[in-house]
Structure 1
Amino acid sequence: MKAIDFSEFGDADVLTLVDAPDPVPRATDLLVKVYAAGVNRADLLLRTGHYGRPDFGDSHLVGLEIAGEVVATGADVVGFKVGDRVMGITGGGAYAELARIDFRMAMPVPDGLDYVHAAAIPEVFVTAHEALINLGRLQASDSVLIHAAAGGVGSAAVQLARATGARIFATTEAEKAERVRALGADVVIDYKNEDFAEVIEKATDGAGVNVIVDFVGAPYFARNIQSLGYGGRLVQVGLLAGGKGATIDLERVLYRHLQILGTVMKSREQPVKHGMVARFRDFWLGHFAGGHLVPVIDSVFPLSGAADAHRRMETNDSVGKIILKTD
């Protein structure tokens, strides 16, 4: 099969199209003919040596997110059969014509969705649900601040918050504001020219928001704490700007009864990941078939153009997901 691999850490040019052996499904695996694969920030971190190893642990090939057709099933697989259209999260190996996936990390492709749009769902929407609903406990009466709202997880989180009925504050760049507003944000904050803590202070008359979902890290931490109301929950999903040097007002945490929670899917134990996928599937999967939730696509590249797809993500100009499509 054709696949994307790299032999040394480096810039996007190290990604090359190679001939690779077909993956061998284990007892709990589906073997999937991949029609589309999602590009994730973790792929860039892997490629540049951030994790200190050249693979995600389950395959020496790049990629964590697929959509395609089941071509074989392991002996212990339940609920899937050959010919099913599936999407899901792998332990690596998504940038390929064939991939294996634990059946408990797979979901049916919703009716009416093509493979490109299906590949834009699993990683970002599962992460968004975990942050907003499972950990953040967002309710219809709540208000929420979603940072990096034009990104993959951010755009998914805005849609889930809208579907929940919450009031949504969202940060992004001015040129992406209309796209974020169209997803359902009530107040869009230009993070380059506005202080989000000041905007929230004024808009909520000092009450603050109930939930914050943050991907940025240390530079936002103190202002996130400042922006939370009584009983508020800060869910830290990423550290795009680093995690060192953050300061914290412990008195505010104490007297406002605040909670600070962190979540990362990739490093969790497999049963925990199964639970994340199941919670999202049971809660939201039916909303895609009716068009109530829509995966946001920024751009589509051929599998052989994986380097260009990585360069696109590195510009930080994208809105929604970047997808690789096989021939």
Structure 2
Amino acid sequence: MKAVGIKGEVGPATALFIDDIPEPAVSKGEVLVKINAFGLNRMDLIQREGHYPLPPQAPKTLGVEFSGVIEKTYGAASGIDSFKVGDEVFGLAYGGAYAEKIVVSTEMIIHKPAKMSFEEAAGIPEAWITATQAVFLVGCFKKGDRVLLHAGASAVSLAAIQLARNAGAAEVFVTAGSQEKIDLCVNELGAAAGFNYKTQDFAEEVLKATGGKGVDLIVDFVVGQGYLEKDIRAAAVDCKIVLLGLMGGIETQGPIDSGSILRKRIRIEGSSLRSRSLDYQKALRDRLVQEAMPRFEEDSFKLFIEKVFSWKDVVQAHQLLESNHPLPPRFQV
């Protein structure tokens, strides 16, 4: 079958090419999906450059989210009774989605609503499952919490805004680098306010907006460049700070106020998704189905697609994401 390969195993976007690889075999509890569309994520760029430590079960082929049609199942194996050949599905994988076909556990796929396009479905798994993990499983969100999401116009934060508001957040605040991104979060998705990290001290603004109380949950993809220090200032008592990335580097800009961490009883926890066990990812899949699928069915949750590429133009697609465009592109096979 055809799949996207990398000349020399690692390299720049221009090293990507359409390769021929063996079709994967289906084992118990798995299905073979003919891929219609797959999503691109920043981890793909890091993996392509050789800087992403792959979990042992991940194939070399890039890509963790996809949509398509089930082409083959493993006989009458347990766990696949609700899925059959011909079903339209989308899901999350440890890798291998940049291809014509993929083998994936039935515990990591979801039936695609008929009204949802394959391109829209391919953009859900990584961002929405990561947001579900950050808000509910790690962030321990509860109704009435105030939430601060960094990288507000990123795919994960766009999902998290909607999940938190749907679950009863008192207020959701975001940070972003332009008024256009802030307007998207506030006007389109109902965030209470957005703060431009280039021109504003977001901790100061959060405290003003909350009457000095701070927020109960912070999801941070940046950490460095002063973010963690400001997170601690913006935190309310018993705040959970969830670290999902290191876009700002691993070094803090100034000293960490350990006294505030102690006094406010702040919990700071790092998390990842791809390295998690299948059981853990299944629990997240199930929570996403519970929290989001009814909203997708009734069109009350919004999905954003900036551009759809032919997968033969994967080089240009990677270059677009590298340019730090606000929304992640999706690809069609």
Pairwise mapping of residues 281-292 of structure 1 onto structure 2 (< 5 A)? 281-292=289-300
Greater Cα shift, 227-236 or 242-251: 242-251
- Residues 73 and 82 of structure 1 are in contact (CA less than 8 Å); yes or no, is this contact kept in structure 2? yes
Paired residue for 2:205? 199
Paired residue for 2:153? 150
Greater Cα shift, 273-282 or 188-197: 273-282
- Specify whether residues 56 and 149 from structure 1 end up closer, same or farther in structure 2 by C-alpha distance, changes over 3 A only: farther
- Residues 3 and 99 of structure 2 are in contact (CA less than 8 Å); yes or no, is this contact kept in structure 1? yes
CA distance in 2, matches of 1:25, 1:318: 37
Amino acid at match of 1:200: V
Pairwise mapping of residues 4-83 of structure 1 onto structure 2 (< 5 A)? 4-8=4-8, 9-51=10-52, 57-75=57-75, 76=77, 77-78=79-80, 79-83=82-86
Greater Cα shift, 238-247 or 73-82: 238-247
Amino acid at match of 1:87: F
Q: TM-score, normalised by structure 1?
A: 0.94
CA distance in 1, matches of 2:251, 2:199: 24
3-state SS of 1:32 partner = strand
**Aligned with residue 266 of structure 2, among 245, 258, 269:** 258
3-state SS of 2:250 partner = coil
CA distance in 1, matches of 2:56, 2:64: 8
- Specify whether residues 66 and 132 from structure 1 end up closer, same or farther in structure 2 by C-alpha distance, changes over 3 A only: same
Q: What's the CA shift for 1:96?
A: 0.9
- Residues 4 and 18 of structure 2 are in contact (CA less than 8 Å); yes or no, is this contact kept in structure 1? yes
For structure 2, the residue ranges without an aligned partner over 5 or more in a row are none
Q: What's the CA shift for 1:56?
A: 7.2
Paired residue for 1:172? 176
- Specify whether residues 311 and 56 from structure 1 end up closer, same or farther in structure 2 by C-alpha distance, changes over 3 A only: farther
- Residues 144 and 168 of structure 2 are in contact (CA less than 8 Å); yes or no, is this contact kept in structure 1? yes
- Residues 95 and 324 of structure 1 are in contact (CA less than 8 Å); yes or no, is this contact kept in structure 2? no
Aligned pair 1:126/2:129, yes or no? yes
**Aligned with residue 225 of structure 1, among 212, 218, 232:** 232
Paired residue for 1:186? 192
Q: TM-score, normalised by structure 2?
A: 0.93
1:5-55 Cα distance to aligned partner (Å, 9 max, x none)? 1133221101111222212111121100100101011111100111256x9
**Aligned pairs, number:** 324
- Residues 141 and 165 of structure 1 are in contact (CA less than 8 Å); yes or no, is this contact kept in structure 2? yes
CA distance in 2, matches of 1:82, 1:244: 50
- Residues 213 and 236 of structure 1 are in contact (CA less than 8 Å); yes or no, is this contact kept in structure 2? yes
3-state SS of 1:95 partner = coil
Aligned pair 1:269/2:253, yes or no? no
- Specify whether residues 281 and 52 from structure 1 end up closer, same or farther in structure 2 by C-alpha distance, changes over 3 A only: closer
Greater Cα shift, 238-247 or 36-45: 238-247
Amino acid at match of 2:208: K
1:44-82 Cα distance to aligned partner (Å, 9 max, x none)? 1100111256x9743221111010000011243422110
User: Alignment identity in percent?
Assistant: 34
3-state SS of 1:211 partner = strand
**Aligned with residue 304 of structure 2, among 296, 310, 321:** 296
- Residues 31 and 106 of structure 2 are in contact (CA less than 8 Å); yes or no, is this contact kept in structure 1? yes
Amino acid at match of 1:7: K
**Cα root mean square deviation, aligned:** 1.6
- Residues 65 and 126 of structure 2 are in contact (CA less than 8 Å); yes or no, is this contact kept in structure 1? yes
Amino acid at match of 1:24: A
- Specify whether residues 119 and 184 from structure 1 end up closer, same or farther in structure 2 by C-alpha distance, changes over 3 A only: same
1:255-278 Cα distance to aligned partner (Å, 9 max, x none)? 111111221001112222222212
1:235-291 Cα distance to aligned partner (Å, 9 max, x none)? 111111222346422111111111112210011122222222122222322210111
- Residues 56 and 62 of structure 1 are in contact (CA less than 8 Å); yes or no, is this contact kept in structure 2? no
3-state SS of 1:27 partner = coil
Amino acid at match of 2:32: L
